[in-house]
Amino acid sequence: MGRLLGKVIVTGNVKALTGMRIGGSSGGLKIGGVDLNVITDPFGTPYIPGSSLKGKTRSIMERYHSRTLHGGVHLCRTDSEYNECPVCRVWGTMAGAQAMTASTITRLLVSDVFLDKESINQEMRDNLELRWTEVKFETAINRVTGTALKGSLRQIERVPAGAVFKDMHMIFNVFEDKDKDLLKELFIALELLEHDYLGGMGSRGYGRVGFEDMRVFWNSRRAYETGDIALEPSRAVNGEAATPPRLVQDFETIKKGLS
């Protein structure tokens, strides 16, 4: 592993296109007493944990690359396998889970993403059961009789469709020039996630999201040595490419800006 050459910072917003539930604490601990809560910050506001976003993009790419799963998780077993694995090289490996001598520093860091409260407008608030969220009733149906199963009715808390989580922040560490090609893996993962789901109950229509207003910034080792950090929109290297499909399409142009 070479020394750090620089960091790619990917920012943007995450919009809930359908109701979304990323699970939190037991309903008995919150006002409203719903059966399944969303996760909230200490102020009671829903957010997207960085671990959820990173874990989901990793699992999508494990399947995209047909990586063998061991107990539900892909693990590289040898140095040669790791060196050819875009998943482990980008998203990292589990410490002590394999006997390898190669350096396995994680390249991708993902921060929590917090709700833009202004995205919950007054019309939406008038139709919400709780301050920031809606409550949806779910039940299991006996497919033979067409009736609800006894005791299956439950209340599910969801972030409503239209809610925006702003200032998504992903940091991609570049240790050698060939790492820059791996950045495309992240863009593909976000592209695939838009056609998948984030959180739970995706097969029931929950958790469809879209990534908006994306920007890609390059900060070289020299930028950190001089304090000339690029985060202003005018210094983004992705031009008009502001969504995952456009980032994938324009990747070669974007990569030229990583120098």
DSSP codes joined into one string, 189-247: HHHHHTTS-SSS-GGGT---EEEEEEEEEEEEHHHHHHT----SGGG-SSTT--SHHHH
How far is CA 110 from its chain centroid?
8
Contact yes or no for 256/183 (Cβ under 8 A): no
Structure tokens at 163: 């809610």
Which tens digits make up the pLDDT trace of 154-209?
A: 788 999 999 999 999 999 999 999 999 999 999 999 999 999 999 998 888 899 99
Residue 88: count of CB within 10 angstroms of its CB: 25
Residue 203: count of CB within 10 angstroms of its CB: 8
The domain ranges of the chain are 6-256
In whole angstroms, what is the distance from residue 128 CA to residue 15 CA? Answer: 18
| Dihedral angle sign, alpha carbons of residues 152, 17, 43, 109 | positive
Contact yes or no for 114/50 (Cβ under 8 A): no
Asked if the model's pLDDT at residue 31 lies above 90, the reply is no
- Mean pLDDT calculated for residue range 28-44: 74
The pLDDT value given to residue 27: 46
Which tens digits make up the pLDDT trace of 62-82?
A: 999 987 666 667 878 788 888
For residue 5, give every residue at least 6 positions away whose Cβ sits within 8 Å of its Cβ, in sequence order, or none.
Answer: 174, 175, 176, 177, 179, 220, 221
**Residues facing residue 47 across a β-bridge:** 114
Which tens digits make up the pLDDT trace of 125-150?
A: 999 888 999 998 765 565 666 655 55
Contact yes or no for 177/5 (Cβ under 8 A): yes
Share of the chain above pLDDT 90, in %: 66
